[in-house]
Amino acid sequence: MANVQAVTDADFESEVLKHEGVSVVDFWATWCGPCRMVAPILDQLSAEYAGKVKVMKMDVDANPRTPAGFNVRSIPTMIFVKDGKVVDQVIGALPKAQLETYFKKHAA
């Protein structure tokens, strides 16, 4: 996960909400099988969209405040944030081609 950064409740505002441009936050947990399926896809997309989309991961077990604030009820959930505003959300594990449509849509 060389291209994907971890984000916490403590630095979510500075790393995501105050980031100019597009950020994707993957809400996940170590015990979540579908989350582990999505991880390498997000790593690939973060490399392909480097400089256009900032990809972050948040462990929901270690950071309960932020997921609750965004009404995350199941994982994996990915939110797309552009200039501090949530512009899209994906719930569940999607294949790379489907997930990439969201990256293309918001990286433009």
Residue 2: predicted pLDDT: 63
**What are the pLDDT digits (tens) for 32-88?**
999 999 999 999 999 999 999 999 999 999 999 999 999 999 999 999 999 999 999
Q: How far is 104 from 20, CA to CA, in rounded Å?
A: 17
Residue 108: predicted pLDDT: 74
* 24 three-state secondary structure: strand
Q: Pairing relation of β-strands 77-82 and 22-28?
A: antiparallel
Place of tokens 């170590």: 30
- pTM, to two decimals: 0.95
Domains identified in the chain, total number: 1
What residues act catalytically? 32, 35
**What are the pLDDT digits (tens) for 19-34?**
999 999 999 999 999 9
User: Please, which residues have CB within 8 angstroms of residue 17's CB and are 6 or more apart in sequence?
Assistant: 81, 84
* 86 three-state secondary structure: strand
CATH code where residue 85 lies: 3.40.30.10
The whole domain housing 55 covers 5-107
Confidence of residue 5 (pLDDT cuts 50, 70, 90): very high
> What are the respective helix, strand and coil percentages of the chain, to the nearest 5?
35, 25, 35
Beta bridge mates, 79: 25, 89
